[in-house]
Structure formats: structure tokens, C-alpha cells
Amino acid sequence: IRDKTVLVTGGAGFIGSHLVEALAPHNEVRILDNFSSGDRTNLPENVTIVEGDIRDPIALQQAARGVDIIFHHAAVVSVSRSVDAPRQSNETNLDASLLVLEQARQEDARVVVASSAAVYGHPDELPVSETASTEPSSPYGIQKLALDQYTRLYEDLYGLETVALRYFNAYGPRQQGPYSGVISTFLEQAQADEPITIEGDGEQTRDFVHVSDIVWANLYAATTDDVGEAYNIGTGTRTPIEELAETIRDATDSLSSIVHRDPRPGDIRHSGADITRAKRTLGFEPRVSLECGIQSLVDGT
Ligand code: UD2
């Protein structure tokens, strides 16, 4: 997209900042971020930063004034924090997301929201398609599901152009901190020659999707005519965690051992996306294989 005024909530965070980087050369980009986990060093120079919380209607109003598109990526991303404090994460992930939708209504802006594979809970069938049953197994999943449903409803009721992207396991540069994913954890361990810690037997599988592919999905979502829909964004390939540990150890020439710990309570056994809908409708095609994605993380390219 070009020559648009866009707002990226959570624009200083992991996925948000990559999106900002892609948008900034050709668009007027604003970000709204409270910098609770995001970082200014993630941002290019020519973006307008509104430092504030999405729970604050005034900050949101200021950031969203006159925008054509809102990419909504601000969230409390930790599933375990949502388990410890469901109301708190609900405030940000759902209540504040409704503020975002209301603001979009006021501006008549398109909204692309970050939904999640968490809406499916423990999937009944694999790969999981958008029509599969949604039974979240965490407050986080419930919050994302409700947001996802609201986006559909806002299209239905108010004619707002909305798209929900259900991300599977995102990874890539700048994913860090205590709630980062298994790839960044394993990579840190391997690079320090410390034991790589598999939780459980390592036979659980995930669909790892590189953040640059997630950015592409957002760009397609910004222009699609098929609004009011949710799309799975993954690769369609499932990788066992044990295999991931070995791949990362090899890619880093690490001396790390691979050790097993107790499984994570409530861990989802298998997760993999059926991306037929995103392919057909958005023209989405994952470009970065897990091998290449890991190699570029190792090389820092
Ligand atoms: C992902 C998302 C989460 C939510 C969820 C929906 C990330 C970071 N989180 O959670 O936001 O959308 O999917 O289902 O993408 N593991 C180890 N050792 C470690 C760390 C993790 O073995 O040191 C295992 C862990 O037990 C799990 C797998 O790796 O089986 C993936 O863990 P994760 O935290 O990266 O992501 P996940 O799928 O729990």
C-alpha cells in the first residue's frame, strides 16, 4: 500500500515494528505504544510516535485521527499472564480492542487485527481450518476469539472494513523478553552453549511462521475486498519441538545438550494451519522456510 495514513497499535513491538518498517517508506505511519514491551530502537525515524496505552481513549483518539487503516497489534501477548490475571489481560486484549474498533468506526478506517491460533484451543482436526470449532483453552484465547468475532460483526452491523489474521507461531528478529517464543529461547540457549530445554517429550508440533510473512499477510489484508473474514496465517507445515531443537543446535554449531523438562500444563499438543483461505482469497504465500528463517536469525541478516 502507498500514500495512506496508517496507525499501528503496538507498533514498537515484535510484529508491529516489522510492519512499521514495511509501511514507513511509502505511507504516513503513526504508532501507538506504551513501551511496556516494545522498544524505540525498533522504529525507523520517519514515524510519528504516540506514547500511550490503548486503554486510554484520548491517546487512541489522538493517534487514530484521520487514518485510513488501523493495524491493531497492541496486546498482552503472554498466555500465562492471561491465566494468572484474566481481567487485566482482558482489559487490554478485549476492552481496549473494542475502543480501537469504535475509533475505526468514527474514522471509517479499515481495521486489520492480530488474532491467534489460540482461538482453536486444542484443535480437533489437523491442519485446522477457519471453520473448525473454536474452544480456547486460555483467557488469552477467549479474548482473541471475541475480538475476532467482533471484527466480523462490525463489518456485518456497521459496514466497517475489518480483517482478522489468526497468527500461528510467529518468530523472527526482535522477538525477545520473558514471553518470547520457543525459537528465540532455544537460540539463546544454543548460542550460550547452555542446555536446550524441551518441555515434555518434544513430539508436540507447531506451525512456525516468519514475521516477514506475517507482514505480507497484513499488507494483503489492507487491500482485500473480502472483509469481515478471519484468515489463518501460518505455513501449513508442522515441526516437532525436538526437531526444532536439533535444527537450532546444528545451525549454531552449538555444544549444547538437549534436555527434557516437565511438560507445560495445558500445552497444546499439535498446532498447524490450513492456509487455503488466505492463499485463495488474500493471495498469501509463505516465503520463508523454517530452515532459512533460523539461518538468517543465526547470521543476523
Ligand atoms: C503460541 C503463542 C501464543 C498463542 C498460542 C496459541 C508464541 C510465543 N506464543 O504459544 O501467543 O497464540 O500459540 O496456541 O508464539 N517449549 C519448550 N521449551 C521452551 C519453550 C517452549 O519445549 O523453552 C515448547 C512449549 O512447551 C510448546 C512449544 O515449545 O510446546 C511452543 O511454545 P511457545 O511458548 O513458543 O508457543 P505456544 O505454541 O505455547
* Maximum pairwise Cα distance, the chain: 57
Q: Quote the ipTM score.
A: 0.97
pLDDT digits (tens, 9 = 90+) for 147-159: 999 999 999 999 9
Separation of 183 CA from ligand 1 center, angstroms? 9
Domains 5-170+209-236+273-282 and 175-205+238-271+290-299 share a fold: no
Fold of 5-170+209-236+273-282: Rossmann fold (3.40.50)
pTM of the model: 0.98
Q: Is there an atom of ligand 1 within 6 Å of 109 CB?
A: no
R_g of the chain, CA atoms, integer Å: 19
Render pLDDT for 173-213 as a digit per residue (tens, 0 to 9).
999 877 889 999 999 999 999 999 999 999 999 999 999 99
Q: Which residues contact 301 (CB under 8 A, 6 or more apart)?
A: none
Is 140 among the catalytic positions?
A: yes
CATH number of the domain at 175-205+238-271+290-299, out of 3.30.420.40, 3.40.50.300, 3.30.530.20, 3.90.25.10? 3.90.25.10
pLDDT at 177: 79
Mutate which of 182, 201, 204 to test ligand 1's pocket (most atoms within 8 Å of Cβ)? 182
243 lines ligand 1 (CB under 6 A): no
- Listing DSSP states for 172-210 in one string gives -TT--STT--HHHHHHHHHHTTPPEEEETTS--EE-EEE
Residue 5 CA from chain centroid, whole number:
22
pLDDT above 90 as % of the chain = 95
Cβ atoms of residues 68 and 4 within 8 Å: yes
Mean pLDDT of the chain: 97
Q: Which residues lie below 8 Å from residue 88, measured CB to CB, with a gap of 6+?
A: 76, 81
Asked if residue 127 has a cis previous peptide bond (ω within 30° of 0), the answer is yes
What pLDDT is attached to residue 63?
A: 98
Domain spans of the chain, in order of start: 5-170+209-236+273-282, 175-205+238-271+290-299
